[in-house]
Amino acid sequence: MGHNRRVSTARELIPEGASLEQLRSLAAGCQACDLYRNATQTVFGEGSAGATVMLVGEQPGDREDLDGEPFVGPAGALLDRALHDAGIDRRQAYVTNVVKHFKWRPAGKRRLHQKPGAEEIRACRPWLESEIDLVGPAVVVCLGATAAQALLGPSFRVTRQRGQFLAWERAPRILATVHPSSILRAPDEEARAREMEAFVADLAVVRAHLSDLGGSP
């Protein structure tokens, strides 16, 4: 753990030329916003440094906060299944979040997820931008509106533009789809099956492109 003074964004904590592993240990001591105060630990991205696909979620959940790894709870299990069904190997992907600390409020004995605010997203985004620059994925996949709007702008609407490749300055391609948690919240089995199918179809667009690039992902 570092002992960094409070800063307005994580940018000031990122040295020129830092490696992914250096970033990971610097992020462990980040106090650029208040979210570190009530969280167990920083949950940095995980995966191959040469990954061709980067999956970006919102923020760690309860399980991720305790384990220190992204997408290892219920949403992660659903994501794993969808990636498998789309023919993408999670071990070949880099998985991360827009915000690296769990934001929650107490509800009895449980910790309830709270959406990160604009200030927290702004404070944390330099970590994600550095991850993208260092991993250099061929495709970035935004999982849900928080990731899509953080990377593509506040007017981006997942419902209107999901599953389409868009031009972007930081990576050759970017695509947005729903967040796996939204599928877990589907009102009934039928809706859940339908939403899962659409999610897998969006990921299959990514898989087809990765195949075109040569080599299976």
For residue 174, what are the β-bridge partners? 140, 166
Interface pick for ligand URA out of 10, 13, 75, 93 (rule CB under 6 A): 75
Backbone phi, then psi, for 207, in 5-degree steps? -60, -45
**Stretch in the footprint of ligand URA (CB under 6 A) among 12-20, 60-68, 124-132, 204-212:** 60-68
In this complex, which beta carbon is closest to ligand URA, that of residue 63 or of residue 192?
Answer: 63
Please report which helix (H) or strand (E) contains residue 148, including its range.
helix 145-152
Task: Judge whether 23 and 127 are in contact, CB under 8 Å.
Answer: yes
Name which of 176, 120, 96 is nearest 144 in CA terms.
176
By beta-carbon proximity to ligand SF4, the closer residue of 72 and 123 is 123
Pick one of 13, 64, 120, 151: the residue that binds ligand URA (CB under 6 A): 64
Identity at 124, one-letter amino acid code: C
Stretch that binds ligand URA, among 11-19, 29-37, 65-73, 182-190 (CB under 6 A): 65-73
Residue 61 binds to ligand URA (criterion: CB under 6 A): yes
Q: Which of residues 119-138 bind ligand SF4 (CB under 6 A)?
A: 120, 123-124
Please report whether residue 58 would count as binding ligand URA according to CB under 6 A: yes
Of these partners, ligand SF4, ligand URA, none, which one is at the site of residue 31 (CB under 5 to 8 Å by kind)? ligand SF4
In sequence order, the 6+-apart residues with CB closer than 8 A to the CB of 191 are: none
β-sheet with 139-143: strand ranges across:
46-47, 93-97, 53-57, 139-143, 173-177
- Report in angstroms how near the CB of residue 182 gets to ligand SF4 at its nearest: 22
Q: Is 99 in the site for ligand SF4 (CB under 6 A)?
A: yes
Q: Please work out, in degrees rounded to the nearest 5, the angle formed at the alpha carbon of residue 196 by the alpha carbons of 183 and 188.
A: 55
Q: How far is the CB of 147 from ligand SF4 (least distance, A)?
A: 14
Q: Does 102 bind ligand URA (CB under 6 A)?
A: no
